[in-house]
Amino acid sequence: MKFKATLIGFSAILMWSLLALFTAASGKMPPFQLSAICFLIGSLPGIAVLALKPERFKLLKQPARVWITGIAGLFGYHFLYFTALRNAPAVEAGLIAYLWPLLIVVGSALLPGERLRWYHLAGALAGLGGTILIVARNGIAFEEAYLLGYGAAFLCAFTWSGYSLLTRRFDAVSTDVVTGFCLATSILSFLCHLGLETTIWPQTAFEWLAVAGLGLLPVGAAFYAWDFGVKNGDIQLLGVKSYAAPVFSTLILILFGFAEPSWRIAAACLLVTGGAVLAAKDMIFRKRAAAPQPAE
């Protein structure tokens, strides 16, 4: 069960790898408007399940702390991320925000039944190194003028890691509640859009398809898969493997002509892959030890 749940959680990381491609193809829609539409689309599969199985509505009745954690995680992360990008250069803000996988790995030591091993931390640091190679290809320059953006990015990293770790503590809560989280995030994003942005709609059918793809996968199904994975899978391994997202994302952008290949990408792939294998050491050897021996 744990291995299967970890794979489901990893599927969320694969879907998040499509985020940059779909966003680049979605046109010039402002971020909160895009977030509002995508989270509305992302809630539709959950709404469909509830419509087909009305008995599951009772699973939405959860303590206030569950709803606060979920809405703060999904909406809070995106609000802080957009704030960081508006107030600091994208490279530095992105790097700070992407500390969340490392924070998940370190923070997992506080969870009941979990033990932080040296190879979990080493794997996460290798993944962070790979992410730096990908994101900071033109250098890093932190400046005092962007402190507000840097601060928002730090809060962004703590928000998503905190949400993921707290979700693990709510392991008895059904993933159906993610539908409610998505709807609430859509509404709050729409309110932010009305107050902060000018409405811009996609201009072509291709851009609308990209928006739909965002809502169905990286801003939709990914959150359901992540919820199930962190509740039932190996959360430390998922934290380390999360560093694969920027690498996969860059490879996909190269494949579709939005980026150029380089030695940095190859080195990042090696670091992230090596870090993931190191972090998965226990799971790999456990499966080998459990494999039946051939009869003599």
Statement: residue 141 has pLDDT above 90: no
Q: Pick from 21, 87, 75, 71: which is nearest to 190 by CA?
A: 75
Query: What pLDDT does 132 receive?
Result: 82
Q: Pick from 247, 254, 262: which is nearest to 101 by CA?
A: 247
Helix orientation angle between 244-255 and 2-16, rounded to the nearest 10 degrees: 50
Statement: residue 212 has pLDDT above 80: yes
Query: What pLDDT does 296 receive?
Result: 45
Query: What pLDDT does 209 receive?
Result: 96
Percent of the chain beyond pLDDT 90?
52
Helix (H) or strand (E) holding 64: helix 64-87
Contact 268, 133 (CB under 8 A): yes
Helix orientation angle between 222-232 and 31-52, rounded to the nearest 10 degrees: 70
For residue 189, which amino acid is it?
S
Query: What pLDDT does 137 receive?
Result: 63
Statement: residue 58 has pLDDT above 90: yes
Q: How confident is the model at residue 138 (pLDDT cuts 50, 70, 90)?
A: low
pLDDT digits (tens, 9 = 90+) for 8-33: 999 999 999 998 889 889 999 999 99
Buried residues in 77-113 as b, exposed as e (16+ CB within 10 A): bbbbbbbbbebbbebbbbbbbbbbbbbbbbbbeeeee
Query: What pLDDT does 284 receive?
Result: 58
Statement: residue 127 has pLDDT above 70: yes
What's the helix, strand, coil split of the chain in %, to 5? 80, 0, 20
| Mean pLDDT of all residues belonging to the chain | 88
pLDDT digits (tens, 9 = 90+) for 46-56: 999 999 999 99
